[in-house]
Chain A
């Protein structure tokens, strides 16, 4: 009798194969290409290739631009998410749809669109150049703009979701304690949705790091100024696939280390 019970318990604890099989297939699908890179990497020449100055240069540029683009997305995206989640205004659904446009837009098209607005002859760019002497295309600032354009929706969507899921009664409680709306946002709302903000920022950063299409179209490609890792990978592919593998591995390794570090610190916190 006891044995039967034990057996029953084991059986019910086993996860259903209807979930496990596709889950493992999905994992393999995501991980195998990475394994492929590792297996086929030119390990013997790796040290010399890594030591080439352009690798470090592109990596540094990628990390700096992705980080600044994430900071910019936080600065603009969190208030935007708050507006979408908390303020009733006509056309809110439309605005929410517009925010996700960069997600569906092919990045190259996004880059062209950015040129049309912020380029030398663009609607805003023209004025930026004549009034402040600022030109964005072909500059590192341009890379940041392109990356933020493509990556910010990830942050906005994540933060908006967190804001919608947050219990608004805590904000009411803060109001009854005399907190102004700004204080409520700063001291109650923001800390409570922080896991969502961090998750969004991580997604945003990862997307910015891998950004290719909008960057090469809007900011161009020049070593040290606008040639980020994905651009370097793409060009290396034209002539030297081994170099592309090395660059990809460097990008993957560095981003994994950073994301794993963040996850330990923030994402897994209960």
Chain B
């Protein structure tokens, strides 16, 4: 209580000082603002405290905003530069009059932990990145600035365009009771780019004279032959069929794509025919897919030891030339299969869309377009600063043509990638897919001179590969004409893809029961695949799931949709 009072007094003071500054600023709202009573809280009168009225103005005098940052091992800096002092902070300061101060910087693996602890101790920065749960908690406590009008007033056209790329799904997830409380951080490889695909050792396929996978049966036939017919022609029975990791539904060696082929969607909420939300993991379609997997396991097509292997171990099997078929996601080839190619230059890999039993196109399941949101603490002097920073990022990173010089923000050979130093990273959802398309056009025309970032980088690598630089293979498997993005491109052109139909934060029963239910699910599925439980166990699981809290969760989810 005490704290809130102080905050109010403080914001009143801030407002007062802002008003005096307003006189010399270029604010068109200045007139209105000075007539507003000084006691009014800053949060309710957004325009008044700013000295900039639209996107990309310069604050004069400069303002300071605080935030907190997550970094990781891949953050490298030029000599003398750091997360607190780099090309971006210079731009903020010199061109826009914004000083961004990092209250703390932490390794991203512990960001959540440190954020919550620092919030608990009362240290909330002016703006920060939070997840759905934190967004909900903060908004329940009325700690967040309503960004609805701010985004409208300050957001650049390009920013607004990006935020609506997924038809507003992510924005909706950040909206509570009609207020937009966070700007979704669109993933670089979000949306349709999260769909799964099949990675296949093409030289093995040729060795065995098998057709490319068009149906589930093809996949099974290939997997079987990869185990039994010595695909690597080394005379030893040392290869696996279909690669599975112990977690089943994530990273390389997932079987989500396999399930999707059966119209089965584990771990997400789906809309049924009557428009109600139902949980994918308990739908009857799952049973067919599980049955198939258990047959494969029984026949020795799936590694008997998959239950102890995480994706790292799957990557080992691939690198060592023991595994030639697995489901994965778009960037896997660039770091997993690459190693196999390094070890064995004769290895060839191809990527295929996931398949269904009858060969009809499959609706792959997609991850949420945004898991994180940038929020602004209620009552700060410049709530729009965060949006301005997002504008600045897009303006300098994507919209400025630096030719003939290279874009100063892109990653360089020494691993330095200044683009990432920016505190409000909001990237186009399909930046890589678009780049893929541009690159393919340019390759067809044999002219990459017109390409902007990031397509130019990929064009460069692909032409190097074509000229014989085998080191650049990793680019081909991803951005090449037959690379993983060609599959994504196909999905996108066909307009396929299913999102989780429930976008909100966890409901009460969900946070209470979901972990138990998930355990029950994974245990049951694993046992069915291993043949330790009969397939009929699935029916028991589906009905038990409902009884153990699933029904209640379903109810809550449907109320919230």
Q: Do A and B bind each other?
A: no
Q: Which residues of A contact B (CB under 8 A)?
A: none
